[in-house]
């Protein structure tokens, strides 16, 4: 078990290092299409969710169902997409949220 965790940690570190190299020295940003293509081809990640932030940027979560890796990106209005966070052991959850106080249904 510990060997697997170590291997996964090293793999994630390699992903982060290669992402930095791919998207520019010290910057984790590129055109949206380039980022999506890189996440799909290099890591098998596809978009699992999307939403708008208060500043009109688009936040997306990409993940691989096979490896469990995940990446969160933010895309600005000019189409620049930046990697914000990444990790491992992604899991889709279909949990039902509790009702707000005073709601019957």
State the SS3 of the chain: CHHHHHHHHHHHHHHHHHHHHHHCCCCCEEEHHHHHHHHHHHHCCEEEEEEECCCCCEEEEEECCCCCCEEEEEECCCCEEEEEEEECCCCCCCCCCCCCCCCCC
Q: Is 35 inside any structural domain?
A: yes
Distance CA 6, CA 40 (A): 24
User: pLDDT per residue over 9-68, tens digit each?
Assistant: 444 444 444 444 444 444 689 999 999 999 999 999 999 999 999 888 999 999 999 999
Number of domains in the chain: 1
For residue 8, pLDDT beyond 70: no
Q: Is 47 inside any structural domain?
A: yes
The bridge status of strand 29-31 relative to strand 46-52 is: unpaired
Whole-number pLDDT of residue 27? 66
Whole-number pLDDT of residue 104? 64
Q: Is 97 inside any structural domain?
A: no
Q: Is 101 inside any structural domain?
A: no
Between 87 and 91, the more confident residue is: 87
Whole-number pLDDT of residue 41? 96
Range of the domain at 25: 2-87
Distance CA 4, CA 8 (A): 6
Contact present, 86 and 16 (Cβ < 8 Å): yes
Mean pLDDT, rounded, for 1-9:
45
For residue 103, pLDDT beyond 60: yes
């Amino acid at each position: 078990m510990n060997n697997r965790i170590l291997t996964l940690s090293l793999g994630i570190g390699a992903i982060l290092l290669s992402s930095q190299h791919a998207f520019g020295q010290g910057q984790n940003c590129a055109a949206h299409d380039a980022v999506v293509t890189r996440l799909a081809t290099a890591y098998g990640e596809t978009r699992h969710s999307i939403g708008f932030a208060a500043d009109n940027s688009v936040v997306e979560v990409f993940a691989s169902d096979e490896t469990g890796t995940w990446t969160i990106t933010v895309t600005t209005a000019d189409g620049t997409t930046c990697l914000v966070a990444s990790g491992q052991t992604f899991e889709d959850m279909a949990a039902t949220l509790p009702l707000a106080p005073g709601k019957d249904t």
